[in-house]
Amino acid sequence: MAYIGIKPSDVAGAGQANITGSLTAGSATVTDDLIVDTNTLYVDSANNRVGVGTSSPSSLVDGRLSGTSSGEILSIGNIGSGVFGGVAISDGGTYPVRHWGSSLEFYTGSSLYSSATERLRIDSSGRVTMPYQPSFNLGWTGSSYVNTTTGSVIVFAGNGRADEFNTGGHYSTSTGLFTAPVAGKYLFGFTGYHSTNSTDAYYTLRINGVISTYGAGSQWGSGYNGLNLCAVYNLAAGDAVGIYSGPSLYMYGTSRFSGYLLG
């Protein structure tokens, strides 16, 4: 049976009330702490706090709304060191959302934050960062002229520059193809700098081997050309995207291919 404790000062003209059965009342005014079954529900009148599953609430509402300490469904309040307004979901004390300082952070992991990984952050200025968003920016491996084959995919394996990255590893530096990990809209950019004797130099962006976009080059001086592309594509999970050479091109090492999942 539930135990309800009401302090002597709670009810005018009454002493301590311990009720082990049921209580029926039209209305009740409690001016001091209210205790239901030790810590099932605890109202701290001195600090104006409510504890659920705790007799020492440290925030306005503190405690687990469902579950146990090893398998909570939802916990709110001051749930860890320096973590305010946190939420615990699923088993093992996973804490995917927390307010830390002036930012709102979203995590995945198996503990509060010692082994959790930050996936998204909104700072006090409204800026959103997603450090694990699928993306890449890689250069052509050659340091000078490198010949490409007509109609072949151009493989960007990187050339050691500090601004290169391949977050998630979804761009293959062996096949030259980016494989969409999830359905969504993706932004791709390509900048090619090459030399060729052909005046109709061009490249193609292909999705699953099918030409989606042609890009022609503008010639500079004695056969030097710049090729550029920037476009958003709606991809399904598993779609493969690559840049293909039109005619045989002599690519420079400054040529680059990049992509980013917008959402």
Tens of pLDDT, residues 41-86: 788 888 878 777 777 776 666 665 555 554 444 555 555 554 545 5
Do 147 and 211 fall into the same domain?
A: yes
Rounded to 5°, angle at Cα 226 from 149 and 207: 55
List strand residue ranges (DSSP E) for 3-143, in order: 4-6, 17-19, 34-36, 41-44, 49-52, 61-66, 74-77, 84-89, 97-100, 103-108, 117-122, 128-129, 135-139
Mean pLDDT over residues 97-101, rounded? 61
Cα separation of 108 and 94, whole Å? 7
At 91 the pLDDT is 45
Do 257 and 170 fall into the same domain?
A: yes
Do 146 and 210 fall into the same domain?
A: yes
Which of 29, 44, 60 represents a domain boundary (last residue)? 60
Which of 109, 130, 151 represents a domain boundary (last residue)? 130
Do 38 and 85 fall into the same domain?
A: no
Q: Which of 12-16, 45-49, 120-124 has the lowest mean pLDDT?
A: 12-16
Do 71 and 55 fall into the same domain?
A: no
Q: Which domain holds residue 176?
A: 135-261
Residue 211's CATH number: 2.60.120.40
Do 186 and 88 fall into the same domain?
A: no
Instruction: Tell me which residue of 136, 134, 141, 176 sits closest to 255, measured CA to CA.
Output: 141
Give the burial class of 109: count Cβ atoms within 10 A of its Cβ; 0-12 exposed, 13-18 middle, 19 or more buried: middle
Do 102 and 211 fall into the same domain?
A: no
Q: What pTM was computed for the model?
A: 0.67
Banded model confidence at residue 170, pLDDT cuts 50, 70, 90: very high
Residue 223, number of CB atoms within 10 A of its CB: 14
Do 89 and 106 fall into the same domain?
A: yes
Do 104 and 168 fall into the same domain?
A: no
Banded model confidence at residue 259, pLDDT cuts 50, 70, 90: very high
Do 140 and 251 fall into the same domain?
A: yes
Residue 180 in this model has a pLDDT that exceeds 90 = yes
Mean pLDDT of the chain: 74
Backbone angles phi, psi at 215, to 5 degrees: -135, 125
224: β partners: 195, 220
Do 206 and 103 fall into the same domain?
A: no
Q: Which helix (H) or strand (E) holds 257?
A: strand 256-261
Do 245 and 140 fall into the same domain?
A: yes
Find how far residue 195's CA is from the centre of its chain. Answer: 41
Cα separation of 165 and 226, whole Å? 23
Cα separation of 104 and 110, whole Å? 19
Which of 84, 105, 130 represents a domain boundary (last residue)? 130
Number of structural domains, the chain?
A: 3
